A = this chain, B = another copy of it.
Amino acid sequence: MGAVKSKRVPRAVREQQMLDAAVLTFARRGYRAASMDEIAELAGVSKPLVYLYLNSKEDLFNTVIRRESAALVAAVTSAVEPGAAADRQLCSGLKGFFAHTAEHPYGWAVLHQQARTHGEPFAREVAALRAEIVAFVTELLGAAAKEAGCVGELVEREVAGLAHALVGAAESLAEWANVRTDEGASGDPEHPSAKDTAATMMNFAWMGLNQLMGGERWVPGGLVDHESRSCARR
Which chain B residues border A228 with CB–CB below 8 Å? none
Pull 28 A–B residue pairs with CB atoms less than 8 Å apart, ordered by A: A32-B120, A116-B116, A117-B120, A147-B213, A148-B214, A150-B215, A153-B226, A157-B192, A158-B200, A161-B177, A161-B192, A161-B200, A162-B200, A164-B172, A164-B175, A165-B170, A165-B172, A165-B173, A165-B200, A165-B201, A166-B204, A168-B173, A204-B205, A204-B208, A206-B208, A206-B210, A208-B209, A210-B218
Which chain B residues border A215 with CB–CB below 8 Å? 150, 153
A-side interface mostly: helix
By a beta-carbon cutoff of 8 Å, the part of chain A in contact with chain B is: 30, 32, 87, 90, 113, 116-120, 123, 141, 144-145, 147-148, 150, 153-154, 157-158, 160-162, 164-173, 175-177, 190, 192, 197, 200-201, 204-215, 218, 226
Q: Is the CB of B157 within 8 A of A190?
A: yes
Q: Is the CB of B213 within 8 A of A144?
A: yes
